[in-house]
A and B are shown apart, each in its own frame.
Chain A
Amino acid sequence: DVALRADDSLTSELSRELENGRLVRLLCKLNTITERGDHAGDSAWSEHGERYPLKLFRDYVFHQVDESGRPVLELGHMIRCLNKLDAAADDRVTLVSRDEQTVFVVSYKDLKVMVDRAFNELVKRTKQA
């Protein structure tokens, strides 16, 4: 009985660590692609470019605020968004730019495609060097 319980706790520890690793990898990917300095003159990242939604998604996940503009630090929200992005869920979210004039309705699936495309471009550029 004790052995079984030990086994169970090991399994749960393991799944916890797997989860952490997965989230960290996803976070690293996101952070390597958004807000790179060398994108400053790149039209794909400008407001009419194809990478702009990724920037807004980063804001959506990490820069949440309440109605009076105070930051909302809800780990649950962040992790759930990241999990949905990881699994390319069909759910749609509304992304709004900082000046509140650009509104996108985006599914996590679209976002994942964009993340992959942007990251693969970075990988390709690494290899060229």
Chain B
Amino acid sequence: MDADWDEVGRVPFPPAGANEFSRPPSTIAFDTCQELLWTGNDQGRVLSLYGTELQRYTSFRIHPRTDGPVRQLLFHDKGVIALGPRTVHMAMRRGLPIWNIRHEDMKDLQCMSFTSKGASEILVAGSQDKMFVIDINKGEVVKQVPTEQHYIIMKKSRYICAATKAGRVDMLDPISFKVVKTWIAHTAYISDMDAQNDFIVTCGGSLKQQTVQNGGYMLDPFVNVFDLKNMTSMSPIPFPPLAAFVRMHPRMLTTSIVVSQAGQMHVVDIMNPNTSKVRYANVLSYLNMVEIAPSGEALAMADNESNIHLWGSPSKIHFAEYAQPVEFAEPEEPAPTIDWAGETPLNTIGMPYYREILASAWPPNLISDVGAPPVKYDPAFLAGLKQTEWGLYGRNARGMRRNQAENTRSASLSANALQPPKFLSEKAREMAKSSGLTAPA
């Protein structure tokens, strides 16, 4: 963290612009390819914020309001994957849905991670005995994996590092999803975890005698570190203000950023934990979440009073390493006003240039029947309706569906068409047919 890091922006969540109650976001994440910060709220809404001013960009819902919060966000070239307790949703960054998976065995999903197949497959887990493997390109559940542990956080590095509520971290093989090694990081619970390259860092708590009045739990005054190269735990990083959140710096491979609930930040080298840089985020309440941008040049913190604080160097803050431009709507040139008069030809507004089949092309094999006589209404049905000045009204008592298409042609033919005189042979045939039909019965 450079010397000139400071708070660059602070916006209330959700930002002004819509009539929504402010409430802390349930998850935040920086986009990996565009200058966007993504947030999820406790009713299943995902909202993206653009640039360092954190302007509203797109917003969409991943599941019905009653389903609960958005739990986690992952990024893919094609779009964003959002996890709810019972849903996995993928949408383009512009907001359009790509797919939405609901499965009856998805009961309380908590976390997800990419697997060994790069960005084409994810593993989804939660407080339930099943994990799901989902193919991102097809949008389908490929496999279900039974699990004994209930995971709440997942991060992928060399292994899929999965943390349980109870302070245990399992290292899962990214191909077979078998537990390779288990590490008890904290004695009571884990509050945050990050994994990158060769290290896992965790914050968590333990049961303390002197804090029984607070339920007995207290954050530990250190960050635990695990070395994935040698598969051993390393000496913890001391953090006297009680470590609540931790992130590895994406570019400086042994540097981690540790934050307390009250906003005290330490930038520490894991290899040399005794020297650290200290910063204070100006928060009036407690922090809920801390996230670092993939460029390492920005840090977002969400507090209990529904603010999002953005930290970075004011001169060169950016989120993504190689940012692609964000796609906005073109400003619309005012349409020529044409009047509704019947004489105005509709081709006064030209077509844009095109080379594909037009959307108005009607499929050639749809045959429509024109010229059938109009529907005849039963006089009893008409009599049951009430007369008003604009027409008749009443309930639909005709025993048909709303807007049901009727075959009026055959009905009128059989019922009230004049019986044409028949040839003798025809009469004989009809006689034979009717007797033949009735004979077996």
Q: B residues within 8 A CB of A91?
A: 330, 352
Q: A residues within 8 A CB of B358?
A: 22, 26, 86-87
Q: B residues within 8 A CB of A86?
A: 351, 354, 358-360
Checking A76, A99, A101 against B336 with a beta-carbon cut-off of 8 angstroms, the contacting residue is A76
In the assembled complex, the Cα of A76 lies from the Cα of B335 at a distance in Å of 5
Q: B residues within 8 A CB of A87?
A: 351-354, 356, 358-359
Interface 9-mer from B94-102, B186-194, B276-284, B295-303: B94-102
> Does the CB pair B338–A75 fall under 8 Å?
yes
Q: B residues within 8 A CB of A105?
A: 57-58, 94-95, 327-329
In the assembled complex, the Cα of A74 lies from the Cα of B45 at a distance in Å of 33
In the assembled complex, the Cα of A50 lies from the Cα of B92 at a distance in Å of 11
Q: B residues within 8 A CB of A80?
A: 335, 349
In the assembled complex, the Cα of A115 lies from the Cα of B232 at a distance in Å of 56
Q: B residues within 8 A CB of A63?
A: none
> Does the CB pair B359–A112 fall under 8 Å?
yes
- A31 interface hit (Cβ, 8 Å): no
Interface size of A in residues (CB-CB distance below 8 Å):
51
> Does the CB pair B64–A104 fall under 8 Å?
no
CB-CB contacts below 8 Å: A71-129 with B: 73-77, 79-80, 83-89, 91-94, 99-106, 110, 112, 115-116, 123, 126
> Does the CB pair B354–A100 fall under 8 Å?
no
How does the 8 Å CB contact mask read for B300-340 relative to A, with 1 for contact and 0 for none? 00000000000000000000000000011110100111111
- B167 interface hit (Cβ, 8 Å): no
Q: A residues within 8 A CB of B354?
A: 86-89
> Does the CB pair A16–B345 fall under 8 Å?
yes
Min CB gap B140→A, angstroms = 15
Q: A residues within 8 A CB of B96?
A: 53, 104, 106, 110
Min CB gap B246→A, angstroms = 33
- A35 interface hit (Cβ, 8 Å): no
- A49 interface hit (Cβ, 8 Å): yes
> Does the CB pair A49–B97 fall under 8 Å?
yes
Min CB gap A112→B, angstroms = 5
Q: A residues within 8 A CB of B58?
A: 103-105
Checking B62, B349, B359 against A116 with a beta-carbon cut-off of 8 angstroms, the contacting residue is B359
A92/B59 contact (C-beta < 8 A), A26-B359, A83-B350 known: no
Checking B330, B350, B363 against A92 with a beta-carbon cut-off of 8 angstroms, the contacting residue is B330
- A62 interface hit (Cβ, 8 Å): no
Given A83-B351, A87-B354: 17 more A-B contacts, CB < 8 Å: A16-B346, A29-B359, A43-B100, A48-B60, A48-B61, A48-B63, A48-B87, A48-B97, A50-B99, A79-B346, A86-B354, A87-B356, A91-B352, A99-B18, A100-B17, A105-B57, A105-B58
- Taking beta carbons and an 8 Å cutoff, which residues of A are in contact with B? 12, 15-16, 19-20, 22-23, 25-26, 29, 37, 43, 46-50, 52-53, 73-77, 79-80, 83-89, 91-94, 99-106, 110, 112, 115-116, 123, 126
- Taking beta carbons and an 8 Å cutoff, which residues of B are in contact with A? 17-20, 44-45, 56-64, 87, 89, 94-100, 102, 327-330, 332, 335-340, 344-347, 349-354, 356, 358-363, 366, 402
A-B contact pairs, 10 of them (CB 8 A): A53-B96, A76-B337, A76-B349, A83-B350, A87-B353, A103-B59, A104-B96, A105-B95, A106-B95, A106-B96
